[in-house]
Amino acid sequence: MTRRLPFALFALLLLLAVAVADRYGGRVDLTRGGRHSLSTRSKEVLRHLPGRVDASAFYRGEDLKAGNVRDLLLLYEKEGRRFRFTFVDPDRNPNEVARAGVRRYGVIVLEAGDRKETVYNWSENSMTAALVRLFRETPLTVRVTTGHGENDGESSEDGGMSLAWEALHAEAIDTALFTAVGEFALPGGTDLVVMAGPKVPLTPGEVDRFERFIRAGGKMLLLLDPGVSGGVLDLLNRFGMEARRDVVVDRSGRLFGTDATTIVVERYDTHDATRGLRGATVLAGCRSIVPFRRGAGGGEVRSLLTTGDGAWGETGPIGPGGKNIRFDEGKDHPGPLCVGMIASVPVPGSEAKGRLAVIGDSDFATNRYVSEALNGDLFLALVRWMAGGESAGGIRAVEGGEELLLLSATRGKILFWAVVVAVPALWALIGGAVAFRWRRRG
């Protein structure tokens, strides 16, 4: 009887904890990336709302989504002292439906004074984006370059960037293609230039034009794949950065089920552009970035994204599957390696700064990879901060239907041996012991 007392006390305490939690509510979010709590970005937007926001959720009483919508709006109301919401049954309140101009069930209308935004998808991404649009006076404008073999921003193919563009449009960020060839002139009102995956070298004149744009206070985001050479490397040198001629590999930190060139990066260096990002970014073939001391940058150069210690920059050829690679002392670049860097240069006679950011991979922002892990978050965070000075905040930029479990090669092997080998072996051992004992008794 004495031995059973601790178990009885434990069961009693467990029942008491459940009763308290049920009585006073609350939740603990244990999902990867905090799927059931607001992101840092959403909390920041809510805490800095310039005015009161009234949200009206138009859902019928029997709508199964109403409970989830209410939970989401409660999170917003808790974080934003200027955010209030009400539920409106369209069938019982036709006057309110007419006032808000609602023409369908299952929408949320945000109102601030005479401004109004309608949310047709009750996700956090859509809600926070609508709050941003509600108070943004004019949309930001991003010019996406063409003419050098860049990734097609409008394409829905795997190598296109249509999903990333949709995420930008949801945040009231306008995108427009821009041919940056020859004696081009950037249109006025350009908040940011994005060059994603150029394959054709820039001419010296084109490099000069981009340099003048940045030194005059312009912003440019460059997504640069391994193997690319020519004028774009000269542009980086002029701002104190160098893109090495290597391919970053990581046998232990690679994505499980892929070769060593598809790596998982989880180190976001201290910078406003990446502040708030928590989780992994998947880079499918990238090059390392280092400071270039001979550059004429004259400004500040800082890292944004860094690999694990086990990574290195492979300078030799990589065969199919990347299975036969090895680190060569004196030739390859030892890790950890910077794969994202930003340069800021002062504008003479002004407090403004020109900026050039580079990521050593463009695939992470394509349709094939942008929904993986924090890839979309990283892209949107860089665009948002560079174009408008808004912090990253870790909002889930591109949402997918399922939450994938991303494992490095080392973690994948541990999981394999634990689930496929160790656990079945343990049960087999227990079963054998029980069977042996029965036979002895029989």
Least reliable range by pLDDT among 76-85, 170-179, 314-323, 411-420: 411-420
Quote the pLDDT of residue 294: 61
Least reliable range by pLDDT among 115-119, 313-317, 318-322, 429-433: 318-322
Q: Are 126 and 113 in contact (CB under 8 A)?
A: no
Instruction: Please check the confidence at residue 396 and state whether its pLDDT lies above 50.
Output: no
**Domains of the chain as residue ranges with CATH:** 40-134 (3.40.30.10), 139-388 (3.40.50.880)
Instruction: Please check the confidence at residue 432 and state whether its pLDDT lies above 80.
Output: no
What CA dihedral angle connects 46, 191, 238 and 285, to 10 degrees? 60
- Reported as a single tens digit per residue, the pLDDT across 113-138 is 999 999 988 888 789 888 988 888 77
Quote the pLDDT of residue 398: 46
DSSP 321: G
Instruction: Please check the confidence at residue 15 and state whether its pLDDT lies above 80.
Output: no
Compare 185 and 122 and report the one with higher pLDDT: 185
Instruction: Please check the confidence at residue 407 and state whether its pLDDT lies above 80.
Output: no
Instruction: Please check the confidence at residue 180 and state whether its pLDDT lies above 70.
Output: yes
> Percentage of the chain with pLDDT > 70?
79
As a whole number, mean pLDDT of residues 425-437 equals: 71
Instruction: Please check the confidence at residue 193 and state whether its pLDDT lies above 90.
Output: yes
Q: How far is Cα 442 from Cα 440, in angstroms, rounded to an integer?
A: 5
- Reported as a single tens digit per residue, the pLDDT across 202-227 is 999 999 999 999 999 999 999 999 99
Residue 135, judged by CB atoms within 10 A of its CB (0-12, 13-18, 19+), counts as: middle
As a whole number, mean pLDDT of residues 378-406 equals: 64
Helix (H) or strand (E) holding 60: none
Q: How far is Cα 313 from Cα 249, in angstroms, rounded to an integer?
A: 6
**Pairing state between β 241-243 and 115-119:** unpaired
- Reported as a single tens digit per residue, the pLDDT across 18-44 is 555 544 444 444 444 444 678 777 888
Sign of the C-alpha dihedral, residues 190, 196, 199, 202? Answer: positive
Q: Which tokens go with 202?
A: 């820039």
- Mean pLDDT computed over every residue of the chain: 83
Quote the pLDDT of residue 43: 87
